[in-house]
Amino acid sequence: MAIIGARTLGHAVFDVLGLVCGLYLCWLGVGALRAKRNESGELAAQPKRPILRGLTFGLTNPKGYPVALAMFTALLSSVADKLSWSAFPALLAAACVGFIIADVIVVSFVGAGLVRRLYRRYDIWVARASGLIFIGFGLHAIVEGGAGLLVRRD
């Protein structure tokens, strides 16, 4: 969608998306940096609606768009000038199949006993490190989106 959309909509839409996504990532990162333990010793930063929060994060994750764009561009660069909205269903189907396969691999890995034990032992440090990473990606998205809006492209 990004390849076709960038040609159709122009760069400004994606630059604004980068700004919004960057701000959201910074907000998530600050929350993760402030992670604390509750009275029972568990990580207190558990989201109230994890599925909704995960979907929101996935859709607003600015690093996902350039990675997807770079991958599809590398795979489809020889035919990029021929892509139109009619090619979108096939591209979307391929991306969905890849997404499902990747999720099965990630869920299998995260569900492994060793990974669960390590996470439970160091959960607060994992949360804080993730917060720093989110802030870094957020600031990068803000800088890139802002620069894209300030520089006129032809």
H, E, C per residue of 38-74: CCCCCECCCCCCHHHHHHHHHHHCCCHHHHHHHHHHH
Task: Determine the pLDDT at residue 136.
Answer: 92
Task: Determine the pLDDT at residue 131.
Answer: 92
Task: Determine the pLDDT at residue 51.
Answer: 75
Task: Determine the pLDDT at residue 116.
Answer: 83
Instruction: Name the residue with tokens 């940096």.
Output: 33
In a 3-state reduction of DSSP, which class is residue 153?
Answer: coil
Distances in Å between the Cα of 69 and the Cα atoms of 2, 34, 119, 145 are 6, 33, 32, 15
Q: Where are the domains of the chain?
A: 2-150
- Residue 61, sorted as left (phi over 0), alpha (psi -120 to 50) or beta, turns out to be beta
Q: Cα-Cα-Cα-Cα dihedral of 130, 132, 133, 136, to 10°?
A: 160
Task: Determine the pLDDT at residue 86.
Answer: 83
Q: Give the residues of the chain that fall short of pLDDT 50.
A: none
Task: Determine the pLDDT at residue 144.
Answer: 85
Task: Determine the pLDDT at residue 65.
Answer: 60
Q: What global pTM score does this model have?
A: 0.61
Both tokens of residue 98?
């890849």
